[in-house]
Every structure is written in structure tokens, then in C-alpha cells.
Amino acid sequence: GIGPVTAMQIIEKFSDLAEFRDWFQNGMLDITEKEESQVAENEKDKKWLQKLRRKLTNLPSLSTINESFPDPEVTNAY
């Protein structure tokens, strides 16, 4: 799964978890340069996104993220 360091980086790079879900669902491998620039503000961020894509692609248990992610009940609890 996704470890604590990667989870914190995802929270830092994406404005919210729904944005991460959309990026993941809408073809993180087929993302256009324009779409990537909305998340990646600089070359360092682009390299991080490439590394994240490789990491997520190699996680068979993470083949999809449900539309209900992030769960509003969990969000409200915190």
C-alpha cells in the first residue's frame, strides 16, 4: 500500500484528496502536459509525479480508487 511518507507527499502536492482521486482515475499514465502542470508547479514536482506514477503502477492492490474516496465520514471526524 501507500506508506506514511508517500501519503504525506500526496497531501502536500494535491489541493485535496478528491483532486488526487481524479488524477488517479483519469489516467495518471495518460495525463497531458497541461493537466500535469496544474499539479506540478516546477520540474521537481514533475519528477515527483513521475516517481509516484511508477510507485502506484507497481501496487496491484491499488488498481482503482472508488468515487466515494475520500470518505466524508473520515474527513468530518478529523
Write down the domain spans for the chain.
Answer: 4-77
Q: Among 19, 14, 70, 21, which residue's Cα sits nearest to residue 40?
A: 14
Q: What is the pTM of this model?
A: 0.70
* Measured CA distances, 8 to 30, 31, 32, 33, 58 (Å): 24, 22, 24, 24, 19
User: pLDDT tens for residues 19-76?
Assistant: 888 888 876 766 666 666 666 777 888 888 888 888 888 777 777 788 888 888 987 8
pLDDT score of 38: 65
pLDDT exceeds cutoff 90 at 4: yes
